[in-house]
Each structure stands twice: as C-alpha cells, then as structure tokens.
Chains A and B, each alone.
Chain A
Amino acid sequence: MLENFGYLGVFLIAALLFALTMIMLPPLLRRFGIVPKKPNPVKSSTYECGMDTVGKSWVQFNFRYYFYALIFVIFDIQVVFLYPWAVSLGQLGLFGLVEMAVFFLILIVGFVYAWKKGVLEWK
C-alpha cells in the first residue's frame, strides 16, 4: 500500500512539472521571437472597463463571509470524523449510528442557532 502512495507522490510531482512546462513554453518561444513582449503603461494598467483605478485594489470586503467560514470549519472537521465512521458502519451497528446522531445533534443545535440569529442572511 505504501508503494501506491509512492506512485501518488510521483504523479503529484509530475503534474506540477507538467504545469510548469506548459507555463514556461511562451517565455521559451519569446527567445525565438514568436511570442511578443511589448509592454506599455496603458497595457499593463489595471483593467477596469476603461476607468482609472481609484485607490488601492486590495480593498476591504464584506464581513458576511466570515460567519460562513466559521460554520464551514466546524462542519468540515466533523466530516473528517464522519468518513471513517461511514466506512465501518457495518461493524459499528446501531450503537455507531446513535453515537454519530448525538454528535451531529450537538452541532446542529449550533447551526440552528446561527440560522435563527440570521447569520445565513445577507443584510
């Protein structure tokens, strides 16, 4: 089985090299004069439909996303517990189901609270 993970590592490195090769092709072709490189101030300015950019581009953003992210983290971690449970539910039986239901119930209470508090709404 460890061998299989070795293969996976080879695949990941090869995939990275593959992407790198593709992105390095145009700079290589530029050496031969096939790909142009003629930057000018207007061309390399920020594209905002012809308007000049006002202020910084890295602006502050809606706080809403933060709450979603919080809920996401909770349930994401819970799903990590869920997968081994799902695979071996056959052996765990009814006890396993009840156990997981209780675990979920605790989190669901929090989710319902957040829902009722209006976290999932955009105002």
Chain B
Amino acid sequence: MSHVEIMTGNQAAAWAARLCKVQVISAYPITPSTPVTETISQWVERGEMKTEYIRVESEHSVMTVCVSASTVGARTFTATSSHGLLYMHEQLHWAAGSRLPIVLCCVNRAVGAPWSISNDQQDSIAQRDTGWIQIYCRDNQEILDSVIQAYRIAEQVYCPVMVCFDGFILSHTMMPVEVPDDELVCRFLPPYKPHTILSPEDPRNINPVIFPWQRRDVEGVLRDGYMDMRWKLQHALERARDVIVETGLEYAEQFGRDHGGMLWTYRAKDADVLLAAMGSLATEATTAVDILREEGIRAGMVGIRVYRPFPREEVREAFKKIPAIVVFEKDISYGYEGALSADIKAALYGTGLKGAGS
C-alpha cells in the first residue's frame, strides 16, 4: 500500500532508488548528498534492500563503477554534490557516450574556491554539456517521483539522467511525501534491457578507437565515425523530449501526480510579467507571484523542470506575447551571464519578440 511519510529530500531520493529495485549502487560521501546513500547503505545492511553496494575511494571511481555495472545490464544509481560531481566529470562523458541509463541524484551545492556548503546550481550547470538529461525538482515529492520517471526515460532513450535538487533547502528539509506501492512502481518500470548484451560467447570491444570517418569493420559492416556517434547522442537527447512528456503524463495517470513534463506554469495565463526559475527557487517564486498579485502587478511563473534537453518549443509558447521576463537562477557562466537566461534568450531567437535585452 502507498503510505505518506514525513521525510527529507535525501530520504525521498533513497526511497525512489529502493522502489526502482536498483541493482548496483556506488557512492562516495559528500555534503549535502551523503544521507541519500547513507540511508541506502543502512537498508542494504539490514537486508531490506537487495543491492550490490560498492564502496570506492573517489567519485571518479564511483562513476566508473556505475558505467561498468550499467554496461553489463544492472540498474545503477548514485548520488553526489558539488566537488564530487566535478570529480566525476570525465566519466559523465563516458556514461553518456556509451549510452548508459544511469540515474544520478545531484544535490546542488556551491563550488569552491572558496569553500562553501551553501546551495547553488553551479555544480550541475557546469555538467550541462556532458550529454546527460537534467531534471530540476521543486519539492521532496517531486524528487521521489522524478527518480522513478528518470529510470523509465533513461532506459527508453539510453541516456543517463541527473535528477537535481537543492542542497539543504530540499535535501535536509522535511515534507510529507507519498511513497507509492511497490507493485505500482514495478508495473510502471519494466526491467532494464541493455542495448548490447555482453557475453563470452559473443565478445565485443566496447568504445574502441574511432576515426572521424566511417570505416568498414573486419566483418565488412560500415561502422560509424566520430561525428555519426555525436549525432546519435544529440538525436537521442532531442527525442528524449517526447519521452519525458509521455512519461510525465503516464505517471500522472497511474500515480495521480503531475509535475509537468518539460516545464510548468503558475498564474501565467493573464500575466504581464513572467518569472522563470529552476528547482526550489521556482517554488519560492510562486510565493513572490502571489505577493506581486496582491500588490496589483499581474505576475506569473514559468518553472523550467527539464534543462537538458532544453524545452525550446515550450519556452517559445510560454513567453510569447509577454512584455517582461525576469529570470532568477543560481549559476553563472563567468564572463557572460546566467546559463538559463542565455538559453531562454536563444530559444526566443527568431520569434520576433521585442525587448530581448538583459
């Protein structure tokens, strides 16, 4: 039976991994993500969760373990933050390039120097171009639901998914969260089928050296070149958009909760000014919208839920005919501007919208 528990964002993420029957977990502790895998390790120790928990010496090795486990067909999970995620950076590219449906919870935290454990989204935004899908959650319920959805999306398009939620604001704050029934999740999430079966009877060389041009292999098959592989990954991320929307709708049907597909809006229909944000900042912005409305300013809200693939068409639709847009974000592309702001402006290019100055 589904039940409601009061829990932190980190516990919601751990519950989701448990419900998804994750087979391999590798993790290295880092504030504020530590309680995610700490909770899981307690369950594994008590025998409540049947998972291979692999302890390693660094986050780089964490992602290497996830890549290996996912390659041989195991559903794989990890969680990290800030410097831990940055240390994984190289392996994040390997995971996406190998088209492995790994799910990672990024508990957003500031990046040094100087040292800080406060929340911003610089860590995950800095991984924007690794080929991972990125989902930003508003509250603890959405964390649990998004991780379940993430596996379904990842295992359909064969791309890894990063489920991002704000450190402390969500990770360490308690909220009522509905934990869905085990069987309901099993029905929603069929077992993971890897795109390639590795077996000693049919040996394969994975990720061999590749050239810019196509080349015939020893069996005479014309194999892809580097650019073909890059195109396939880009195409998969673009195709993911439809899968994300469909998954969200089906989840709403089966679980009764709709968090929006690519983005969501709040009091946006008659708005003169639209606020835009991601993650818990978007939740807080809805309160600002209410206050502005009380003051006589017709404000509305657009919450960007999926940042990669970027919801270009949805953004174009949401912001058309709006005289003013204010973007709030917790990251910056040094020397230019906020990444979300730049992406929204790029999406609006060619629509003829006036006043696209920052």
Whether chains A and B associate is no
Interface residues of A (CB under 8 A from B): none
Residues of B within 8 A of A (CB): none
